[in-house]
């Protein structure tokens, strides 16, 4: 008699442990992103050219910063000949001319930010109070136009108006004063630059604020009027808090370009007589790198400027997130 065969027990299947909440959220996010990409691939394809532009003209050139630490000669290797370490950094940190240029950059950037940032907000608030439709459009059009003028045209207008026989000096002479070569006086350069920046940007800067003003709930104004608030109180307690996210975002972006004071305009209207107050880091880098051919030294200064700009943006974003709860990221 044959003994019965003992069958092996069926293998037990171990259930997979549940994923942690973070992993489930990541997997869900990936699926939703892929689903959105398949659904709207035509729209996403429109971003290819802008992305290529930033990769080619913004990120790939960052590789050239390596020449700030290498000896570079025109006609040699694209990344320099040999390492010199922090030699060029020590050179510009010990150069009195650099510190004068650095101070001018801080002063011009600070004055531009102090004057050109709040005035578009003020103009937008004033335009928001205008009830005559045609007057509002006329003021907007007139204030927008300077933005579309080329920097070269603006510089030419400044030179013509502020020359010894220009319109400004003709008015000064008519009032009994002596003509002055404004563009050759270091003490006048900062006033001229900030004034021209204000004239050219104040109108254009109101666009985002006017758009933000349209998103404020009108019921808030009605509630404020019921509580007895006048127009000033409504502006302070309703309007300004309503556009605060836009204000903070633009402030952070302006701080990011704090060190990159208008290179083109300064280059066109300054001269050796006004270097004392007009020369900034960007123009100094241009003269040292392009005109004099010392590209490694100029790259070191430019890298230093970029690091300061990045630090300012990160600091402003951090402070804004901690204080007012609004930030870029």
Cross-strand partners of 70: 83
Residue listed under structure tokens 């270097």? 275
User: What are the tokens at 17?
Assistant: 């442990």
Q: Is 114 exposed, middle or buried (0-12, 13-18, 19+ CB in 10 A)?
A: exposed
Higher pLDDT pick, 13 / 171: 171
29, two tokens: 């996010």
Q: Tell whether the model's pLDDT for residue 14 goes beyond 90.
A: no
Q: Which two tokens stand for residue 272?
A: 């050796």
CA distance 89 to 296: 10
Let me know: does 103 contact 281? Beta carbons within 8 Å. Answer: no
In the predicted structure, residue 13 carries a pLDDT above the cut 80: no
- Domains detected in the chain: 83-324 (1.10.3720.10)
Check pLDDT > 90 for residue 80.
Answer: no
Separation between Cα atoms, residue 6 and residue 178, nearest integer Å:
119
Distance CA 303, CA 62 (A): 9
Has residue 299 got a pLDDT over 60? Answer: yes
CB 101 within 8 A of CB 281: yes
Q: Is the pLDDT of residue 104 over 90?
A: yes
Mean predicted confidence (pLDDT) in 124-152: 91
Is the pLDDT score of 28 beyond 70? no
How many other CB atoms are found less than 10 A from the CB of residue 87? Answer: 15
Question: Nearest Cα to 75, choosing from 301, 285, 295, 297?
Answer: 295
Mean pLDDT of the chain: 86
According to the model, what pLDDT value does residue 78 have?
78
Burial of 27 per CB tally in 10 Å (0-12, 13-18, 19+): exposed
pLDDT at 9 over 80: no
Two tokens, residue 66: 């390596």
Q: Using one digit for the tens of pLDDT, what is the confidence trace for 253-276?
A: 888 888 888 889 999 999 999 999
Least confident of 78-82, 195-199, 275-279: 78-82
pLDDT at 77 > cutoff 80: no
Please, how many CA atoms are within 13 Å of residue 232, restricted to the half-sphere of its CB?
0
Report the alpha-carbon distance of residue 150 to residue 159 in Å, rounded: 14
312-321 mean pLDDT: 86
- pLDDT higher than 80, residue 16: no
pLDDT in tens, 34-60: 888 888 888 889 989 999 999 999 899
pLDDT at 90 over 70: yes
Note the pLDDT of residue 263.
Answer: 87
The mean per-residue pLDDT over the stretch 291-317 comes to: 88
The model's confidence at residue 3, banded by pLDDT at 50, 70 and 90, is low
Judged by average pLDDT, the poorest of 123-137, 223-237, 315-329 is: 315-329
Q: Indicate if the pLDDT at residue 244 is higher than 60.
A: yes
**Segment 251-257 long-range contacts (CB within 8 Å, at least 24 positions apart):** 251/117, 251/316, 251/320, 252/313, 252/316, 252/317, 252/320, 252/327, 252/328, 253/328, 254/113, 254/117, 255/113, 255/312, 255/313, 255/316, 256/309, 256/312, 256/313, 256/316, 257/309
Per-residue pLDDT, averaged over 299-307, amounts to 90
| HSE-up of residue 296 (Cα within 13 Å, Cβ side) | 25
């Amino acid at each position: 008699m044959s003994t019965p065969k003992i069958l092996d027990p069926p293998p037990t299947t171990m259930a997979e442990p549940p994923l942690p909440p973070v992993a489930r959220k990541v997997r869900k996010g990936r699926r939703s992103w892929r689903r959105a990409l398949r659904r709207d691939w035509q729209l996403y394809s429109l971003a290819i050219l802008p992305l290529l532009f930033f990769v080619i003209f913004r990120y790939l050139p960052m590789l050239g910063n390596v020449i700030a630490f290498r000896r570079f000669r025109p006609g040699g290797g694209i990344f320099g000949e040999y390492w010199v370490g922090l030699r060029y950094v020590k050179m510009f940190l010990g150069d009195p001319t650099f510190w004068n240029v650095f101070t001018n950059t801080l002063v011009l950037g600070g004055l531009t930010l102090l004057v050109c940032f709040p005035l578009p907000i003020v103009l937008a608030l004033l335009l928001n109070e205008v009830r005559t439709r045609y007057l509002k459009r006329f003021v907007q059009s007139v204030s927008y136009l300077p933005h579309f003028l080329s920097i070269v045209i603006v510089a030419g207008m400044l030179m013509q108006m502020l020359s010894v026989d220009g319109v400004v000096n003709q008015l000064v002479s008519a009032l009994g004063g002596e003509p002055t070569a404004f563009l050759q006086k270091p003490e006048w350069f900062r006033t001229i630059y900030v004034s021209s920046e204000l004239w050219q940007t104040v109108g254009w800067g109101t666009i985002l604020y006017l758009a933000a003003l349209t998103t404020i709930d009108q019921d808030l104004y009605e509630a404020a009027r019921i509580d007895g608030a006048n127009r000033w109180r409504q502006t302070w307690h309703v309007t300004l808090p309503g556009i605060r996210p836009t204000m903070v975002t633009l402030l952070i972006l302006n701080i990011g370009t704090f060190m990159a004071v208008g290179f083109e305009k300064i280059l066109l209207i300054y001269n050796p007589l006004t270097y004392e107050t007009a020369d900034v880091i960007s123009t100094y880098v241009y003269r040292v790198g392009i005109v004099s051919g010392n590209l490694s030294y100029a790259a070191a200064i430019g890298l230093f400027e970029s690091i300061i700009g990045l630090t300012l943006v990160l600091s402003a974003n951090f402070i804004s997130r901690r204080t007012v709860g609004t930030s870029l990221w």
